[in-house]
Structure 1
């Protein structure tokens, strides 16, 4: 057990394309060692997901954003896809702090 005090840790939700799994893992580790609670989508290795399940998973991720103090965009090379743009817009309407792994151009 660590002797470091942890009062109310910040909650960070990771967003971005799941093709960047290595970057997601590195950011999750970095933020955890910074004593943050990290929320992120899980990559599902299932092909041909039912469209209603895909929509439900998208809604589930918006609930993660609801819980977060900060939304961290995992965007190697500045890439931000359509779904991530929607998540950024959603977070912005809620007044969430949005930060980027790589600043967008």
Structure 2
């Protein structure tokens, strides 16, 4: 007797996005020092018909939400987990900027471990090139 193949959560998500007719989803990654470039990449990707997810907080800029160092550390951990969820949701990743720090390097490795294609605005900074 043949049993139906059990789908992974990733396969079920991919099937659901296809059934819903969703456009490709791009996760923008990079240092928040490149927020202006991320916004430009968001504009271009959106104009090309893609759904964009990207960092929503620039913790390098002053804000009351992260003015307390203890709260800021907890918020950074939550934002890192949220960004990894955005990468899981995405069909591909676009890395913005001409510098790759430890956090972005980890995001690239995570995306690649999930089999996500990774593009770069500055291909020379690809840590695996």
> What is the TM-score of this pair, normalised by structure 2?
0.70
Rounded Cα–Cα distance in structure 1 between residues aligned with 2:85 and 2:26: 12
Rounded Cα–Cα distance in structure 2 between residues aligned with 1:52 and 1:104: 33
Rounded Cα–Cα distance in structure 1 between residues aligned with 2:76 and 2:57: 12
CA RMSD of aligned residues (A): 1.4
Shift of 1:50: 2.9
Cα distance per residue 1:31-80 (max 9 Å; x no partner):
000010000011244233431221111000000000000100001xx211
Greater shift, 9-18 or 43-52, is seen at 43-52
Count of residue correspondences: 97
Rounded Cα–Cα distance in structure 1 between residues aligned with 2:109 and 2:120: 14
Larger radius of gyration: 2
> What is the TM-score of this pair, normalised by structure 1?
0.85
- Of structures 1 and 2, the one scoring higher in RCO (CA 8 A, sep 6+) is 1
Unaligned stretches of 5+ residues in structure 2: 1-20
SS, match of residue 99 in structure 1: strand
Of Structure 1 and Structure 2, the greater helix share is in 2
**Following TM superposition, where does structure 1 have runs of at least 4 consecutive aligned residues deviating by more than 6 angstroms?**
none
